[in-house]
Amino acid sequence: MPKMPLALTMGEPSGIGGEIALLAWMQREQAGLPPFFLIDVPERLEFLARQFGWPVPIRTIAEPSQAILHFATALPVLPLASAVASQPGQPDPGNAAAVIGSIARAVELAASGQALAVVTNPIHKATLAAAGFKHPGHTEYLAELAQGALPVMMLAAPGLRVVPVTVHIPLCDVPKRLTADAILRQGIILAESLKRDFAVAAPRIAVAGLNPHAGEEGVLGTEEEAIIRPAIQALCAQGINAFGPLPADTLFHDEARKGYDAVLCMYHDQALIPLKMLGFWEGVNATLGLPFVRTSPDHGTALSLAGSGKADPRSLMAALRMAAFMANARAGAA
CB atoms within 10 A of CB 276: 16
Cα–Cα distances (Å) from 150 to 4, 289, 293, in that order, read 26, 6, 14
DSSP-based helix, strand, coil % in the chain, nearest 5 = 45, 15, 40
Q: Can you name the residues that pair with 162 across neighbouring β-strands? A: 155, 263
Q: List phi, psi (to 5°) of 4.
A: -125, 145
Contact between 16 and 55 (Cβ < 8 Å): no
Instruction: Answer whether 0.85 is exceeded by the pTM.
Output: yes
- Topology adopted by domain 152-283: Isopropylmalate Dehydrogenase (3.40.718)
Q: Do domains 1-149+290-334 and 152-283 have the same CATH topology?
A: yes
**CA 91/CA 51 separation, integer angstroms:** 19
Question: Which residue in 98, 104, 62 sits closest to 81, CA to CA?
Answer: 98
The burial class, CB within 10 Å (0-12 / 13-18 / 19+), for 255 is: exposed
Q: What is the Cα gyration radius of the chain?
A: 20
Cα–Cα distances (Å) from 177 to 125, 185, 267, in that order, read 23, 14, 10
Residue 6 DSSP one-character state: E
DSSP output for 153-167: EEEEETTEEEEESS-
Q: List phi, psi (to 5°) of 299.
A: -155, 175
Residues 6+ apart with CB under 8 A from 72: none
Per-residue pLDDT of the chain (334 residues; tens, 9 = 90+): 457 999 999 999 999 999 999 999 999 999 999 999 999 999 999 999 999 999 999 999 999 999 999 999 999 999 998 888 889 999 999 999 999 999 999 999 999 999 999 999 999 999 999 999 988 788 888 988 988 788 999 999 999 999 999 998 899 999 999 999 999 999 999 999 999 999 999 999 999 999 999 999 889 999 999 999 999 999 999 999 999 999 999 999 999 999 999 999 999 999 999 999 999 999 999 999 999 999 999 999 999 999 999 999 999 999 999 999 999 999 886 5
**CA 214/CA 249 separation, integer angstroms:** 9
Tell me, what's the pLDDT at 137?
A: 81
288, containing H or E segment: strand 284-288
Question: Which residue in 188, 206, 204 sits closest to 245, CA to CA?
Answer: 206
DSSP output for 52-98: HT----EEE-SSTHHHHHHTTTSEEEEE-SS----BTTB--GGGHHH
**CA 269/CA 34 separation, integer angstroms:** 31
Tell me, what's the pLDDT at 35?
A: 97
Residues 6+ apart with CB under 8 A from 109: 7, 64, 115
**CA 142/CA 149 separation, integer angstroms:** 8
**CA 206/CA 220 separation, integer angstroms:** 20
- When the candidates are 3.50.50.60, 3.40.50.300, 3.40.50.150, 3.40.718.10, the CATH number that belongs to 1-149+290-334 is 3.40.718.10
Tell me, what's the pLDDT at 334?
A: 53
What does the domain layout of the chain look like in residue ranges? 1-149+290-334, 152-283
